[in-house]
Amino acid sequence: MAKGKEKGPKGKKISLKTAKNSIRISFDGGRRLDLSKMGITTFPKCILKLADVDELDLSRNMLKKIPNSIEKFQKLRWLDLHSNQLEELPKTVGTLQNLFYLNICNNKLTSKNLPEELNLLKNLRILNLGLNCLDSIPPSLGALKELKELGLFDNLLTAIPNSVKRLPKLKKLNAERNPFPESMEKEEYVDSIKRIESLYLVQEKDLCCSCLKTCQEERDKLNKFKNKMPCPSKKLSFPSLFTPNSTAMNNQEQWRLKD
């Protein structure tokens, strides 16, 4: 009997029943479909029948492609595709307007195959592009005005566009282990995110009446602002952007945006 053509590893087939049993309730009451670490090699078409979920986790599988039908998940707020074998993303990912978390770290993405439509994700707060094959970042990502955390570590970057460094709400930028030119100081991108001005400390007795009054008014404004802040237990918490394979945690909740 003639031997057939040698095939790659056969992935696990996910049935609709298995997918339904993998739905969990997240912290804020949303529905999360968790298919991580299941040896999947092909996007399971059956999960299109569950496209009303709020969160989708397909991380740590062997996926090479995400189909255009990902646009069916219009309610999606949280999408985790890290640690697969993705070489490209579909343009339709830009239609997921409710998305605030996107992790595509540790894949095989190149700058050429990074869809321009990512700049349409106006509500995105966390974007992890680390551990890929990116040699440039499209300046159009500067359109992501709500972005707070950006992971660019372990790529082939030699520069970061000013439009990205100057994102108004960006608090964390991890661009470690990229081949930046020696002339480009590390502080060039760190300081642009900190946005800290010089600070001088003086005692109240050394201030004139006018300056003292101004300082007291500003302090009162700050105290009012603090009083309006939610208690710590209800604050949004943003996980640091680490390399998932080297610090992979079985508890994926640490990769999530928590209330």
Residue 175: pLDDT band (50, 70, 90) is very high
Contacts of 110 (CB under 8 A, 6+ apart): 87, 88, 132, 133, 134, 135
Per the CB < 8 A criterion, the answer to whether 76 and 98 are in contact is: yes
Identity of residue 36: S
Distance CA 55, CA 47 (A): 12
Contacts of 80 (CB under 8 A, 6+ apart): 36, 55, 56, 57, 58, 59, 101, 103, 252, 255
- Strand stretches in the chain, DSSP E: 23-25, 31-34, 55-57, 78-80, 101-103, 126-128, 149-151, 172-174
Is it the case that residue 36 has pLDDT exceeding 90? yes
- pLDDT, residue 188, reads 52
- pLDDT, residue 199, reads 37
Residue 131 is given by DSSP the state S
Per the CB < 8 A criterion, the answer to whether 135 and 111 are in contact is: yes
Structure-token match 């029948």, residue found: 49
Ordered structural domains, the chain, with CATH: 25-174 (3.80.10.10)
Structure-token match 């595709």, residue found: 81
Most confident of 78-92, 173-187, 242-256: 78-92
Least confident interval from 48-52, 170-174, 185-189? 185-189
Is it the case that residue 254 has pLDDT exceeding 50? no
From the number of C-beta atoms within 10 Å of its C-beta (0-12, 13-18, 19+), residue 162 rates as exposed
Q: Convert the pLDDT of each residue in 185-200 to its tens digit.
A: 444 554 445 443 333 4
Nearest to residue 124, comparing CAs of 100, 143, 105, 145? 100
Distance CA 182, CA 166 (A): 22
Whole-model pTM above 0.95? no
**Backbone torsion region of residue 154, taken as left when φ is above 0, otherwise alpha when ψ lies between -120 and 50, otherwise beta:** left
> 151 φ, ψ to 5°?
-105, 120
Q: Residue 103's beta-bridge partner residues?
A: 80, 128
Residue 219: pLDDT band (50, 70, 90) is confident
Residue 188 is given by DSSP the state H
Identity of residue 157: L
